C-alpha cells in the first residue's frame, strides 16, 4: 500500500570531479560568518582543506573551525561545537567530511539557538526544533550514510551508552547543498570503502524489508541494490575505478534521502542492533551493521517470507523454479552472504571487540523497532547478538 | 559514465487520498491574488473545482480564473492567460488538471513579467527567464507527463505547426508544491489512462536508451519500468484499483523529474516524432508516442544493441541464454509490443488522423535530437513515419 505521505527534498546536489567550484555559487547566499566543520585531519593531508579554505577566503568569509569530529560524534563534542558556533555568531555551517561530520553539523545547526538541552529535546523526546536553524552545506569526502541529502543526525552519549539517530521531519534541516566529488573518495582505505558500501546496502534493506504489499518504492530499491552490487564488485577489485565510485556515491544519496521509504513502514532494527554494538565498541558503523545482519535476517525471514523470495529473485537473480519459498529465500541470503564475504566485510561482532559478557549490556542499549516483519523481545535480541559473535 | 551534473528538485509533494487539505498549509505562504487555471470543465463535473474553491475562499484569496486550457495548450491561449494574470496582479497560480494545465501554468508563470515575446524567447531561442516568476502550485487530476515536479512546459504554435517543449534549467520554475490524489484519476476514461501510462513508460525509455555505459540511473529506470508494467496490468483490468493507480501516479512523477536523466545524454526523438504528429492531428499526446515508438525503436536497435538486450533481460525477463544479441533484443521489443496491445494503445498514426500525404509535413515539424543511439536524417524520419502509418 503506497498510502498517504509527503515528500520534499530541496537539497541541491553538485556531482562530479569539478563540483567543488560550485561552492562559489552557494556561499554568497548566506552571511559571512562561516563555521568550517571537519574530522580528525584527513582533509588536511589530502588537500581538500586548503582548497575549501581558498574558496572561503576568496568569498570574504570570517571563518571559525570545529575540528576533530570523531566517527561516532559524541554529545560532549556537540556541546563544544554549539559554543564555537554561538561565539562566532555563525550564519552558515560548512561540513567537510563523511556522514559523521554531516550528521554532527546538522545537530549543531538545530542546537545553536535552542534554549533546551539538545540531547533531552532531540534524542530523548524526539522533538522538532522551534528555534532558528543555521543553514548547512556539505562537501562529502566519504560515502555511505546519505547524510548529505537528509535531515538525520546520529549522536552518541557515552555516559548512557546510547547512540541515537533523529531523522527530523522539517526539510529545512536538510543541507541547503551538498558537493559530491567521487574523486575525494578514491583515497579512502578499503575497510572504510566497503563499510560504507554495506551501510548503503543496509539502508535500502531496512526500508525494503517492511510492509505487506509491493509498491514502486520496492522496485526503485531493487534497482539501487542491483546498481550497488555491480559497482561494489568493480570497486572492490579496483578502488580507483572512478565510474564505479561515482555510482556508489550516487546510490548512497538515494538510498537514504526518504525516496525509497515512501509508502513503506520501514524496519531499522539492524541499525538499532548495530548502533548498540557501536556504542559499546566504537566500531565503524557499516561494520557493526554487516556483523549483525545475517543472523537478524535469517531470524526474521519466516515472518516476511514472500519479500525474501522476491529479494532472492529480483536482486540476486536466484532461479526460484521448483524450489520452496524457504529454499528460494535462503538462496537469496546465501548470495548476499557471499557478496559480503567477497567485499571483506566484518561478519561477526567479536572481531569488532564485543564479547559474550557484553551481550546483555548491548541488548539493553538496543532500541526495539515496531514496523519490521517481527518485533523482537529481549530474548530474541540476545539470541541474534549471540549468533553474531 | 555518470559524469558531472547538478540535481535540485524542491517541489513539495502531498500524496494520497487526503492530500487536498494540505492546500490550506501552502496558500498562506503566498499573496492573496490567486489565478486558478483549469481545463475544459471536467473538474466542475467531478466536484474538484468546488472543493478547491472552498479552500481558496476559506483562505481569503482573491480569485481570477483561466479556464478552457486545451490538451495541447496553444500560444494564443498562453497570450490570453498572461493578460488575465497581469490584470489580476497575480501572486500565485494554481493549476488544477493534468499535464497540459500544469505545463501551461508554468508557461504563464515565466511570461507574466517578461517583456519579450514568450514564444520567441522560450520556444525559439530557448532562453531562461530573466524576470520575476509567479509561483505555481498544482492539483493533479491526470497522470503521465510528470509536469507536477519538473520545469518543463510544452506549448503548441498552430500557425507554425510547432509543438515545442522547453525544460527550463531553473528549479524555481518547478511547482512549489503538487497535490497528488490517486482518487482524482479513477474517473478518467480508459483511453486517457492508458495514454498516460504509455507517456510515463516512454519518458523512461527516452532517458534509458542513451549513453554507452550503464549507471545507477539505468537501474532506477528499470525499477520504475517494472513497477509500471505490473501496476498498468492491474489497472487495465480494474481501473478502480486504488493501489495500482497510486503506484502509476508515483511512478509518473519520478519518470520525469530529472532523476533518471542524471548521467545520461537522453534521446527524446520519440517525443519529437509524437509531438510533430500531435501538432498536425491534435491527437492525445501519449497515443502519438505509442503510435511511433516501435517503428522507431526497431530502427535504432542495431545502434544501441547492448542496451536493447539489457532492456529485454532486466525489464521483460527475457531468457537470453543461447540467443544472439539481435534475437534477445527483438524479443524484448516484442514483449513491449504485446504489453502495449494488451493495454489497448494506439499502434499507428493513421488511427490518429495522419495519412500518407501528411508525412512530409509531419517530417518537417519533427525536431532532430542528437543524443540518442542514432541521429536521424530526413529520409529516416520519413521512413519511420511511413512505418507508423
pLDDT at B161: 82
Dihedral over alpha carbons A113, A116, A121, A122 (to 10 degrees): 20
Q: Are residues A245 and A230 in the same domain?
A: yes
For residue A327, the number of C-alpha atoms closer than 13 Å in the C-beta half-sphere is 6
Distance in Å, alpha carbon of B246 to nearest chain A alpha carbon: 7
Beta pairing class for A5-15 and B5-15: antiparallel
Beta pairing class for A5-15 and A177-180: parallel
Query: What is the total count of domains within chain B?
Result: 2
Gap between the Cα atoms of B88 and B105, Å rounded? 15
A155 falls within a domain: yes
Burial group, residue A41, by CB count within 10 angstroms (0-12, 13-18, 19+): exposed
For B13, the closest of A8, A17, A243 (CB atoms) is A8
Q: How far is CA A245 from CA A42, A115, A237, in A?
A: 19, 42, 12
pLDDT at A58: 98
CA-nearest residue to A228 within chain B is B216
B371 falls within a domain: yes
Gap between the Cα atoms of B368 and B360, Å rounded? 14
Determine contact, residues B383/B360, Cβ cutoff 8 Å. no
Distance in Å, alpha carbon of B203 to nearest chain A alpha carbon: 16
Q: Are residues B305 and B278 in the same domain?
A: yes
Task: Residue A293: name the closest of A268, A262, A327, A322 by CA.
Answer: A268
Where chain A has pLDDT below 70, the residues are 1
Q: A165: how many CB neighbours lie within 10 A of its CB?
A: 17
Determine contact, residues A216/B247, Cβ cutoff 8 Å. yes
Preferred mutation among A1, A3, A5, A7 to probe B, highest tally of B CBs within 10 A = A7
Chains A, B: CB pairs < 8 Å: 133
Q: Is A9 on the interface with B (CB under 8 A)?
A: yes
Range of the domain at A176: 12-185
**Contact check, Cβ <8 Å, A254/B171:** no
Which residues in chain A have their CB less than 8 angstroms from residue B12's CB? 6-8, 171
Dihedral over alpha carbons B265, B269, B271, B275 (to 10 degrees): 140
- Which CATH number does the domain housing residue A162 bear? 3.40.50.1970
Which residues in chain B have their CB less than 8 angstroms from residue A178's CB? none
Q: Is A8 on the interface with B (CB under 8 A)?
A: yes
Q: Are residues A142 and A258 in the same domain?
A: no
Positive or negative: CA dihedral A112, A100, A277, A290: positive
**Contact check, Cβ <8 Å, B6/A18:** no
**Contact check, Cβ <8 Å, A224/B223:** yes
Q: Are residues A149 and A241 in the same domain?
A: no
Q: Are residues A305 and A167 in the same domain?
A: no
For A2, the closest of B8, B171, B247 (CB atoms) is B247
**Contact check, Cβ <8 Å, A243/B4:** no
Distance in Å, alpha carbon of B309 to nearest chain A alpha carbon: 16
| Sole residue written with cell 571563518 | A63
Burial group, residue B382, by CB count within 10 angstroms (0-12, 13-18, 19+): middle
Gap between the Cα atoms of A76 and A98, Å rounded? 19
A 264-323 → B contacts, CB under 8 A: none
Burial group, residue A324, by CB count within 10 angstroms (0-12, 13-18, 19+): exposed
pLDDT at A163: 84
Q: Is A215 on the interface with B (CB under 8 A)?
A: yes
Q: Is B243 on the interface with A (CB under 8 A)?
A: yes
Q: Are residues A172 and A205 in the same domain?
A: no
Task: Residue A347: name the closest of A261, A284, A289, A262 by CA.
Answer: A289
How confident is the model over A277-302, as pLDDT tens digits? 998 998 999 999 999 999 999 999 99
Q: Is B212 on the interface with A (CB under 8 A)?
A: no
Q: Are residues B221 and B354 in the same domain?
A: yes
**Contact check, Cβ <8 Å, B224/A220:** yes
* pLDDT, tens digit only, all 389 positions of chain B: 688 999 999 999 999 999 999 999 999 999 999 999 999 889 999 999 999 999 999 999 999 999 999 988 999 999 999 999 999 999 999 999 999 999 999 999 999 999 999 999 999 999 999 999 999 999 999 999 999 999 999 999 989 888 889 999 999 999 999 999 999 999 899 999 999 999 999 999 999 999 877 799 999 999 999 999 999 999 999 999 999 999 999 999 999 999 999 999 999 999 999 999 998 998 999 999 999 999 999 999 999 999 999 999 999 999 999 999 999 999 999 999 999 999 999 999 999 999 999 999 999 999 999 999 999 999 999 999 999 99
CA-nearest residue to A215 within chain B is B247
Q: Are residues B74 and B127 in the same domain?
A: yes
Q: Is A7 on the interface with B (CB under 8 A)?
A: yes
B3 falls within a domain: no
Q: Is A1 on the interface with B (CB under 8 A)?
A: yes
Gap between the Cα atoms of B327 and A6, Å rounded? 44
For residue B74, the cross-strand partners are B156
Which residues in chain A have their CB less than 8 angstroms from residue B231's CB? 216
Q: Are residues B170 and B219 in the same domain?
A: no
A291 falls within a domain: yes
Q: Which phi and psi angles does B95 have, rounded to 5°?
A: -85, 130
DSSP for B10-27, written as a single string: EEEEEESTTGGGGHHHHG
**Contact check, Cβ <8 Å, A2/B250:** yes
- Alpha-carbon Rg for chain B, nearest whole angstrom, is 20
Which residues in chain A have their CB less than 8 angstroms from residue B244's CB? none
Which residues in chain A have their CB less than 8 angstroms from residue B215's CB? 227, 243, 246-247, 250
Gap between the Cα atoms of B284 and B32, Å rounded? 35
Positive or negative: CA dihedral A289, A291, A294, A300: negative
Q: Is B49 on the interface with A (CB under 8 A)?
A: no
pLDDT at A2: 81
Gap between the Cα atoms of A343 and B295, Å rounded? 44
Q: Are residues A165 and A225 in the same domain?
A: no
Spell out the residues 6+ positions from residue A196 whose beta carbon is closer than 8 angstroms to its own: A98, A142, A143, A144, A145, A188, A248, A252, A286
Q: Are residues B170 and B204 in the same domain?
A: no
Q: What is the complex's ipTM, to 2 decimals?
A: 0.95
The residue out of A185, A208, A242 marking a domain boundary is A185
Task: Residue B135: name the closest of B85, B176, B178 by CA.
Answer: B176
**Helices marked H in chain B:** 23-26, 42-45, 48-58, 75-87, 99-109, 118, 190-208, 216-237, 242-255, 269-281, 285-300, 305-316, 325-343, 359-365, 378-387
**Contact check, Cβ <8 Å, B7/A16:** no
Q: How far apart are the first and last CA of chain A?
A: 37
Which cell is A191 given? Answer: 575497510
Q: A123: how many CB neighbours lie within 10 A of its CB?
A: 24
A6 falls within a domain: no
A3 falls within a domain: no
Which residues in chain A have their CB less than 8 angstroms from residue B13's CB? 6-8
pLDDT at B72: 87
The residue out of B170, B185, B200 marking a domain boundary is B185
**Contact check, Cβ <8 Å, A12/B8:** yes
Distance in Å, alpha carbon of A37 to nearest chain B alpha carbon: 23
Gap between the Cα atoms of A211 and B337, Å rounded? 33
Determine contact, residues B34/B94, Cβ cutoff 8 Å. yes
The residue out of A136, A155, A185 marking a domain boundary is A185
**Contact check, Cβ <8 Å, B222/A221:** no
Q: Are residues B17 and B80 in the same domain?
A: yes
Query: Is B128 strand, coil or helix?
Result: coil
Task: Residue B385: name the closest of B257, B259, B235, B276 by CA.
Answer: B276
DSSP A220: H
DSSP A38: E
Q: Which phi and psi angles does A37 have, rounded to 5°?
A: -115, 130
Which cell is B338 given? Answer: 504485446
A64 falls within a domain: yes
Gap between the Cα atoms of B355 and B386, Å rounded? 9
Gap between the Cα atoms of B63 and B86, Å rounded? 13
- Which CATH number does the domain housing residue A352 bear? 1.20.1090.10
| Sole residue written with cell 560524534 | A73
For A216, the closest of B7, B16, B251 (CB atoms) is B251
For B215, the closest of A7, A11, A247 (CB atoms) is A247
| Sole residue written with cell 546520529 | A154
Q: Is B15 on the interface with A (CB under 8 A)?
A: yes
Beta strands in A150-296 (DSSP E): 152-157, 162-167, 177-180
Q: Is B219 on the interface with A (CB under 8 A)?
A: yes
A83 falls within a domain: yes
Which residues in chain A have their CB less than 8 angstroms from residue B22's CB? 6
User: Residue A99 is inside which H or E element, if any?
Assistant: helix A99-109
Q: Is A17 on the interface with B (CB under 8 A)?
A: yes
User: Residue B34 is inside which H or E element, if any?
Assistant: strand B33-38
Determine contact, residues B275/B292, Cβ cutoff 8 Å. no
For B5, the closest of A7, A15, A213 (CB atoms) is A15
Amino acid at each position: 500500500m503506497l498510502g498517504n505521505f509527503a515528500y520534499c527534498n530541496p537539497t541541491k546536489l553538485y556531482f562530479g570531479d569539478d563540483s567543488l567550484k560550485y561552492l562559489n555559487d552557494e556561499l554568497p547566499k548566506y552571511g559571512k560568518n562561516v563555521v568550517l566543520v571537519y574530522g580528525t585531519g584527513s582533509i588536511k593531508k589530502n588537500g581538500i582543506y586548503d582548497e575549501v579554505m581558498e574558496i572561503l577566503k576568496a568569498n570574504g568569509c570570517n571563518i571559525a573551525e570545529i575540528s576533530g569530529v570523531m566517527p561516532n560524534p559524541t554529545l560532549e563534542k556537540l556541546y563544544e561545537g554549539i559554543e564555537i558556533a554561538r561565539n562566532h555568531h555563525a550564519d552558515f555551517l560548512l561540513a567537510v567530511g563523511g556522514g559523521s561530520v554531516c550528521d554532527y553539523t546538522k545537530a549543531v545547526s538545530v542546537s545553536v539557538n535552542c534554549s533546551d538541552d539538545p540531547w533531552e529535546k532531540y534524542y530523548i523526546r524526539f522533538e522538532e526544533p522551534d528555534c532558528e536553524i543555521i543553514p548547512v552545506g556539505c562537501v562529502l569526502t566519504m560515502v555511505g550514510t546519505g547524510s548529505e541529502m537528509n535531515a538525520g543526525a546520529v549522536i552518541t552519549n557515552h555516559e548512557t551508552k546510547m547512540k541515537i539517530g533523529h531523522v527530523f521531519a522539517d526539510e529545512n534541516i536538510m543541507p541547503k547543498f551538498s558537493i559530491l566529488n567521487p574523486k575525494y573518495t578514491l583515497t579512502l582505505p578499503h575497510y572504510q570503502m566497503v563499510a560504507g558500501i554495506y551501510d548503503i546496502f543496509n539502508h535500502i534493506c531496512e526500508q525494503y524489508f517492511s510492509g505487506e504489499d509491493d509498491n514502486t518504492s520496492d522496485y526503485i530499491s531493487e534497482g539501487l541494490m542491483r546498481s550497488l552490487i555491480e559497482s561494489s564488485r568493480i570497486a572492490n577489485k579496483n578502488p580507483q575505478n572512478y565510474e564505479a565510485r561515482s555510482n556508489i556515491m550516487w546510490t548512497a544519496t538515494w538510498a537514504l534521502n526518504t525516496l525509497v521509504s515512501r509508502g513503506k513502514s520501514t524496519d531499522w532494527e539492524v541499525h538499532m542492533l548495530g548502533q548498540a554494538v557501536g556504542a559499546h565498541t566504537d566500531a565503524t558503523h557499516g561494520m557493526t551493521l554487516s556483523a549483525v545482519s545475517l543472523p537478524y535476517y535469517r531470524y526474521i525471514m519466516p515472518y516476511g517470507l514472500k519479500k525474501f523470495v522476491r529479494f532472492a529473485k529480483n536482486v540476486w537473480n536466484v532461479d526460484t523454479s521448483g524450489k520452496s519459498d524457504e529454499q528460494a529465500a535462503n538462496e537469496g541470503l546465501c548470495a548476499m552472504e557471499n557478496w559480503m564475504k567477497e567485499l571483506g566485510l566484518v561478519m561477526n561482532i567479536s572481531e569488532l571487540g564485543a564479547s559474550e559478557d557484553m551481550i546483555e549490556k548491548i541488548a539493553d542499549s538496543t532500541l526495539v523497532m515496531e514496523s519490521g516483519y517481527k518485533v523482537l523481545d529481549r530474548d530474541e535480541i540476545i539470541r541474534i547478538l549471540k549468533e553474531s559473535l
